[in-house]
Amino acid sequence: MIQLAMKQADYNRICAQALEEYVEGECCGMMTHGREDGPVSVHVCENIQDKMHKQDPERFPRTNRNAYLIDPGEQHQIISQAEGQGGGIAGFYHSHVDCDAYFSEEDKAQACAFFGDEPTYPDALYLVVSVYGPRSDRPVPEIKESKCFGWSEAQRDFVEVPLSLTD
């Protein structure tokens, strides 16, 4: 069965990023794999959704609070570098701010932006980390849960896949 294999330390870094960037909104990044099977490499990316929203609010109605966007140039560079080393893209991660870890319609639309009804990268896995803000009984933001999703050709939809954390 397809699963996302990630080093515990990398997963912890993603959670730390989600907590740090909570005030700004969703955090994001990419995952690549090498020539051999093994845990993915994690690449932190900037969420440029706010920037695009300020430039063109009609075309980009959402902000970092409820969407993420990775600069296409940065994306291309990360993929080319991995391919240059005999690997390729493994997937993307982003956080959900004050809501649970699910694959939203927006996430699906973004993953399928190029072809419309199937993902641009059919083998890519998507890690979603849910972070909730401070409450009266808890002064700092907190990671609630994480879920991983992958495209099912049989179901023509994204389904949850296991996240396997390794040393």
Interface positions with Zn ion (CB under 5 A): 104, 107
Q: What is the per-residue DSSP string for 15-75?
A: HHHHHHTTTT---EEEEEE-SSSSPPEEEEE---HHHHHHH-TTT----TTT-----HHHH
Q: Are 156 and 143 in contact (CB under 8 A)?
A: no
* Local structure of residue 114 (DSSP, 8 states): T
Residue in the shown chain whose Cβ atom is closest to Zn ion: 107
Look at the block and give the residue holding tokens 């059919």: 122
* Distance from C-alpha of 96 to C-alpha of 99, rounded to nearest angstrom: 6
Rounded to the nearest 10°, the torsion over CA 14, 16, 18, 22 is -170
Give 70 or 87: the residue with its C-beta nearer to Zn ion: 70
Give 23 or 109: the residue with its C-beta nearer to Zn ion: 109
Give 31 or 87: the residue with its C-beta nearer to Zn ion: 31
Q: How far is the CB of 28 from Zn ion (least distance, A)?
A: 9
Give the count of beta carbons closer than 10 Å to the beta carbon of residue 95: 28
Q: How far is the CB of 62 from Zn ion (least distance, A)?
A: 10
Q: How far is the CB of 149 from Zn ion (least distance, A)?
A: 10
Give 10 or 107: the residue with its C-beta nearer to Zn ion: 107
Q: How far is the CB of 34 from Zn ion (least distance, A)?
A: 27
Look at the block and give the residue holding tokens 């695009």: 52
Give 50 or 107: the residue with its C-beta nearer to Zn ion: 107
Q: How far is the CB of 150 from Zn ion (least distance, A)?
A: 15
